[in-house]
Amino acid sequence: MAKRWGQRVRNWMTQTMDLPQDVMMDLPRITMIGQIHIYIENHRGLLTFSEKELRLLLKQGQLLIKGKAFVIKTILPEEILLEGKIEQVIYLEE
């Protein structure tokens, strides 16, 4: 019950205060430039990284990115910039 009430409050605040939903609902923001750059904000941590795969923890679930020649250009506590050839971006539910 409390979880549903909290969701209603966040929805009301988003609409009333004209705030972006990703901020109020604690969702990741993903920005891709073609197949070569992906910038992810509001993640909960890096789980795995190789030249072919990156996996991030989200508030709900995980984000899996597959491709080739991956290089992490920037990594901050809640932001990451990945370069390489991005072939798949998959949301994994818990």
Q: What is the pLDDT along the chain (94 residues), one digit of tens a residue?
A: 566 666 676 666 666 665 555 455 678 999 999 999 999 999 999 999 999 999 999 999 999 999 999 999 999 999 999 999 999 999 999 7
Predicted pLDDT at 30: 96
8 lies in some domain: no
> Which pLDDT value is given to residue 81?
98
84 within some domain: yes
Angstrom distances, CA of residue 90 to CA of 17, 18, 48, 50, 64: 31, 29, 14, 16, 5
Helices (H) and strands (E) counted in the chain, each on its own, are 2, 6
Confidence (pLDDT) at 94: 72
Check if the beta carbon of residue 44 is closer than 8 Å to that of residue 56.
yes
Number of domains in the chain: 1
CATH number of the domain that residue 42 is part of:
2.60.40.2000
5 falls within a domain: no
> How far apart are the C-alpha atoms of 94 and 88, rounded to whole Å?
19
Q: Would 52 be classed as within a structural domain?
A: yes
Domain that holds residue 80: 26-92
